[in-house]
A and B are shown apart, each in its own frame.
Chain A
């Protein structure tokens, strides 16, 4: 099984989540790809050796993300007042 943490420098420019991760961990490699079966402790970064696998997993990740229903969560409306009892 292959796992990847894909925040390539170029992609990080376009990806806010990757940008904030890169800011938190400046010394972390920008792309990480591990063979979790042989290397469960994620010691050997294979991203440089296997750019095609990185590309493939990135595409899979993005396809799955596109299936997500937009999150319903939102900020508290400024005029919101708590009811006397919730659910009524």
Chain B
């Protein structure tokens, strides 16, 4: 009797892959919030800012309270996009400034590239901040099927300018939608989710400007 269990387990291991259907691909919505204090949202004890929807998500899901990010924007995004520490790609110091002649190195394989290979449609809504020096650095060249929002940090919420240059784009072409940037970003994110075909998984990164 003692020896039968391992054999049974072995048989199961052999037959399971044959009978298995492909694992379902859940839709993925990743909200990256800039300049959010650890204790700002209600579910972390914050009282000054009302965050009922985030609180509801946190209440129904997992809270990772030892999940650390880099202290500023571009290094955090570089790490998220590549799964590698920013000191591996030279993005460990500060943010990608408007005049930077670099971005996330082009030889890096990105998360949306991998998700696209896995059958996902991919979209980024909000801030990119990983370089715009050449077209090759822009989001639609780095794995995103769709892009909406801005490349630099600290754009004007209404004119969508940074240092005198226009910085509002759809699919990496200048886009002259009028409005408060945060509202435009939210509207686009909702639209993408609503219009996504049911049979195609969506992976989106929503990023509110600071």
Residues of A that sit less than 8 Å from B by CB: 67-74, 76-77, 80, 82-88
Contacts and interface: CB of A to CB of B under 8 A. Distances in A.
A77 B98 contact: no
A71 B90 contact: yes
Nearest to A88: B174
> What interface size band does chain B fall in?
20 to 34
A19 B161 CA distance: 39
B169 A87 contact: yes
9 contacts: A69-B87, A69-B89, A71-B93, A73-B97, A76-B97, A82-B165, A83-B165, A86-B150, A86-B166
Contact of B166 (A69, A76, A84): A84
Contacts of A86: 98, 132, 150-152, 162, 165-167
A84 B176 CA distance: 13
Interface of B: 87-94, 97-100, 102, 132, 135, 138, 150-152, 162-167, 169, 172, 174
A88 B151 CA distance: 11
- A interface, by DSSP: helix, strand, loop or mixed? loop
A77 B163 CA distance: 14
Contacts of B100: 72-74
A84 B92 contact: no
Given A72-B90, A86-B98, 13 more contacts: A67-B87, A67-B88, A68-B92, A69-B87, A71-B93, A71-B94, A83-B165, A85-B174, A86-B162, A86-B166, A87-B138, A87-B167, A88-B174
Contacts of A73: 93-94, 97, 100
A88 B88 CA distance: 28
B166 A72 contact: no
A66 to B, nearest CB: 11
Contacts of B167: 85-87
A52 B97 CA distance: 42
Contacts of A69: 87-90
A70 B165 contact: no
Contacts of A88: 174
